[in-house]
Amino acid sequence: MQEAPHQRVEGRVPTDETLAIRAREGSPEAFARLVERYERPVFGLIVRLVRDPALAEDLAQEAFLRAWRALASFDPERRFASWLLRIAHNAAIDALRRRRTMPLVSLVMEDDGEEEGRERELPDLAAPNPEERAAGRDLARALEQALAGLRPEYRAALLLRFGQQLSYEEIAEVLSLPLGTVKTFLHRGRAALARALADAGYRLPTRGGETGGRSGT
Amino acid sequence: MRERREMTPEELDGWLRAESAADDAEAERRLALLFDALVEPAPRPGFTARVLASIRAEEAAVRLARRRRFRHLATAAVLLSAAAFAGLLLAGPGGLGAIPALGARCLMAAGAIGRGVAWFWTLFATAFVPVAEALFRPWIFGVAAALALSSILMLSSLVRCLEREKGVVHALLPH
């Protein structure tokens, strides 16, 4: 079982910063534990930025390699997660600059065997469990696609804020942006996300109390 | 690993409502719930092993480059030392009688420079190289120590050789 990232409690489970110090002193085991803790957050951030799982895996590997090389410059007083995600974000941005036109690859995990192109149904609040699950997957797919359509800087800010639960200050550090710009990106990103979902049929609720489900069927 | 939770229409509805009401705090809280229900993409199994393998490969390449650098340095030092040895031998009055006086003086000067280089190499090999390299790989200490010993032996044989040639050492010493 993987350890959750952002382990802050000293004791039996060493903190990220403690592991980073051990790794800096030459312990590959400590670095391996950090990789295990952060492979999903790092890969998740990169894959949602570059939208190509194969490239994202190479970039995630490259990000960890860069982190290993740069361990000497890591300040244990600062949060390891922010430091690592900054490296991962830079790796993704470098790749985006190299490849201006990225093919859009769906990131929705097709674990349900549903055929592509099937007409989606309205979410039914009284539906039994399998249908609720299908509706939930539809919503997740719509959110992923709306997110994929955002500008990369908005996407990165939203992913770091809501996917990685970073503070505004940490996001500013990861993206190398002023705090005010981060707040603007988050605000505009949320608005753009809501618009994209509305365009996909998940419209804003009206005053009459309609649900936010897909319209137009 | 985080347990996957299904997203519900109410959650989306709640977020959209909060957005339309311009309630930033509530909108953030509800959007965080939506993100929490997204599938967390994961790399293929064995990702950690692949990262560690790439780190090991890079470390091996760095070690190889360092070893090459050290070998080049050692070769250059040995060549310089040999040049110094040859220079000192040739510069001596009894070393090569056929050399004209000017040539002999030039060779003596070269010998003095060579002697300085040889001493520098000795100090380098005995002090700097072991300390610097032993920090990384202990076995390099052994190699450096052997080189230092060979340098010392070479210099001592050089001095003995020069002592046999009367006046040479005296001529090379600063007055």
pLDDT digits (tens, 9 = 90+) for B44-73: 999 999 999 999 998 889 888 887 877 777
Name the one residue in this structure whose structure tokens are 């201006």.
A100
- Inter-chain touch A162–B31, beta carbons under 8 Å: yes
Chain B residues near any Cβ of chain A (below 8 Å): 1-2, 6-13, 15-17, 19-20, 24, 27-28, 31-32, 34-35, 37-44, 47-48, 50-52, 54-56, 58
Per-residue pLDDT of chain A (217 residues; tens, 9 = 90+): 455 555 444 457 889 999 999 999 888 899 999 999 999 999 999 999 998 999 999 999 999 999 999 999 999 888 999 999 999 999 999 998 887 654 444 444 444 434 333 333 334 444 446 776 677 778 888 888 899 899 989 999 999 999 888 999 999 999 999 999 999 999 999 999 999 988 888 876 555 444 445 543 3
Q: Where are the alpha helices (DSSP H) in chain A?
A: 16-24, 28-50, 53-69, 80-98, 129-148, 152-158, 168-175, 179-199
In one-letter notation, the amino acid at residue B88 is L
* Cβ <8 Å between B8 and A44: no
Position A212, amino acid: G
Q: Which residues in B lie closer than 8 A to residue A65 (C-beta atoms)?
A: 51, 54-55, 58
Sign of dihedral through CA atoms B102, B103, B108, B111? positive
Report CB contact under 8 Å: A53, B41: yes
**CATH pick for A1-101 out of 3.40.50.700, 1.10.150.120, 1.10.3210.10, 1.10.1740.10:** 1.10.1740.10
Q: What backbone phi and psi angles, to 5 degrees, belong to B95? A: -70, -50
Contact A143 B38 (CB under 8 A): yes
Domain segments of chain A as ranges: 1-101, 127-211
User: Could you say which architecture CATH assigns to the domain A127-211?
Assistant: Orthogonal Bundle (1.10)
Task: Say if A1-101 and A127-211 have the same CATH topology.
Answer: no
Pick the closest to residue B154 from B54, B53, B70, B86 (CA basis): B86
- Please tell me the pTM assigned to this model: 0.64
Domain positions in chain B are 65-172
Nearest CA in chain B to A138: B7
